[in-house]
Structure 1
């Protein structure tokens, strides 16, 4: 059902934008050659995400997926520009009391006005896509200070670097990974935490796993690098970014081997003890990636812990705060939301997630959500940044 819905929405978006292209081009030239060339090129671009979804694993599939992601970013803004133009034109028509016949006559008299509208829509869409791509590849650093009421006999301090949502795939930019590792190492952290979605639904889509393993293995911290898996750390079938797998996606051996070679320790419903703090890693609630359809409850994971001591949870999706609070959890480290990644998703995300981004206290539990160090689908960020989060925790 999801597959049909996604295909239908995508087809409607393509038909709408293509019909608008033909409409404005027809005002410029009554010949069919120009429109035929545009139609063929547009359909070829439109087929990129389809091929990325349905072709068998290989170079062609990865190429179509990577270029299809860029195309999707452009398509979103091109469609928005066209809709925005029609809204403006509608209100101008109302306020000027224009008639349809007069409007038609004006367009026939000034056909180049149509070309200008089309040119501006394409220009704005390309500009936003280009800016978003450049912005997405810059790593920023944000810092948080959190003090817990719980006290321990140990050191009482923990410096954490939180990263998430690397989404390693065909659109991964190698220098961005290197810049991220350099910035992490500057922090001289006690521990580095990866809060899920290291991959983007396919290990075969990782363009250069050996190089990426070497880069990530260069991360330095006093107490190690720990991670949880996210909802895209599985082998899934993605159509325009949506999971349309018929079977429950599972994690591949390649993904697990990658983590080992990169020096990253996954915490699959497991706990580590560092500097007097108890750090619990949870499997993802949406896709466990294992034979088990459900992950362990937070109650079972914390049942043997001393809740008088600090309890930290690494949870890919920022959710389940009531249960976390009732089980004595103090701080939850998450990703998943990308802070919306690009407009207009940035506007919608705060209504979807209990914590879309940053530091919040929810049901007495501190929640820190990072926007992620990578990007999902379109490799663009508008209104957000790719980042690492540095957390100075005191207890």
Structure 2
């Protein structure tokens, strides 16, 4: 219902952007003012703007479907910055119109109008191209924390944390190979994949066996552990909105992929790793609500009540919620993702309004929360003001 409600608004802003683009191009060259060009450009614009719908409806042939998905993802990011750029330019124009400068001859000149359009267009293209290529670059972020507990055999535990791979249209085998190489170079003791490995569509992964094989090359002392995220189920999505309601069961291919990739799935499960520390993986609350067969996830106290709390307790929880409850239940380290740190500016500025720890490191009681911005991207295959990252958490213990 939300998608249908927002559709008229989307069409309105699409027309708003198209209208200003045609006006600016028309003053640059007479060719752009010709009816044939305006109709042709408008048709191409409409086809691109509606790839959100056409990629949802057209599933076959697979090559066409994937092409439409790639175009729609590129379109989403570019359109966002087109709307922001044109909106700011239009707002400044309105302010100047009601100022004394409105009477100046340059304000009404053709050259000034063309220059405004050109400058706005260059900025839109720059941010779009930068965002696209920046999303492909992997960073390593290191967080140093300390614990009053001791950990048998370790003064420091090195944990490689990744999340939000969103395997499929935006994350391919080339990116995964670089990711695995970077993680292995860190020589971690433990590797954590904190949810949203998938992108709501197993079919979106062009070569699932090859991707699983690449990820199986991850190396660490204690192995690779993962939990589910809200996107780790198969469901129809149109412009970010899900359709179809609840599903009876989860897609078994997801769990099989984890097995083939050498990852141990913890779904409201506790593991005592070599008698050194506890590792707990939580169910995702949003995923539980969408699957009829899923039980409600256990509370933090239910997960930790029978544990030896003199040992370090590490918890993987995709969405960084219930931090106080987890800390009170004895957690020493809470590892998550989900937020992407907003992925695209200005989203990263708004996240603190919604999340206690939208990104980075936060001390909560005796526990630390570490939230990664994610290794992959969701929706627009761009990043601006954020980064695709691997987090290296160095947890120091008192001996």
How far is 1:37 from its partner?
1.2
Equivalent position of 2:282 in the other structure? 282
Given the alignment of the two structures, is residue 165 of structure 1 paired with residue 152 of structure 2, yes or no?
A: no
Alignment of structure 1 residues 11-30 onto 2, 5 Å: 11-25=11-25, 27=27
How far is 1:292 from its partner?
1.6
How far is 1:154 from its partner?
4.9
Helix, strand or coil at the partner of 1:145: strand
Equivalent position of 1:79 in the other structure? 83
Q: TM-score normalized by structure 2?
A: 0.91
2:16 & 2:269 partners in 1: Cα distance? 49
Q: TM-score normalized by structure 1?
A: 0.92
CA contact (8 A) 2:202 2:254 kept: yes
Change (3 A) 1:106 1:310: closer
Structure 1 residue runs without a partner (length 5+): none
Root-mean-square deviation (CA), in Å? 2.2
Structure 2 residue runs without a partner (length 5+): none
Equivalent position of 1:324 in the other structure? 326
Equivalent position of 1:37 in the other structure? 40
- List structure 1 segments (4+ residues) > 6 angstroms apart after TM superposition: none
Equivalent position of 1:201 in the other structure? 200
Equivalent position of 1:386 in the other structure? 388
Equivalent position of 2:259 in the other structure? 260
Change (3 A) 1:112 1:97: closer
CA contact (8 A) 1:6 1:239 kept: no
Given the alignment of the two structures, is residue 59 of structure 1 paired with residue 54 of structure 2, yes or no?
A: no
Aligned pair count?
389
How far is 1:363 from its partner?
4.2
2:34 & 2:184 partners in 1: Cα distance? 61
Given the alignment of the two structures, is residue 354 of structure 1 paired with residue 352 of structure 2, yes or no?
A: no
Equivalent position of 1:311 in the other structure? 313
Equivalent position of 2:268 in the other structure? 269
CA contact (8 A) 1:63 1:170 kept: no
Change (3 A) 1:251 1:51: farther
CA contact (8 A) 2:373 2:388 kept: yes
2:69 & 2:48 partners in 1: Cα distance? 11
CA contact (8 A) 1:236 1:243 kept: no
1:362 & 1:8 partners in 2: Cα distance? 43
How far is 1:152 from its partner?
4.6
Helix, strand or coil at the partner of 2:198: coil
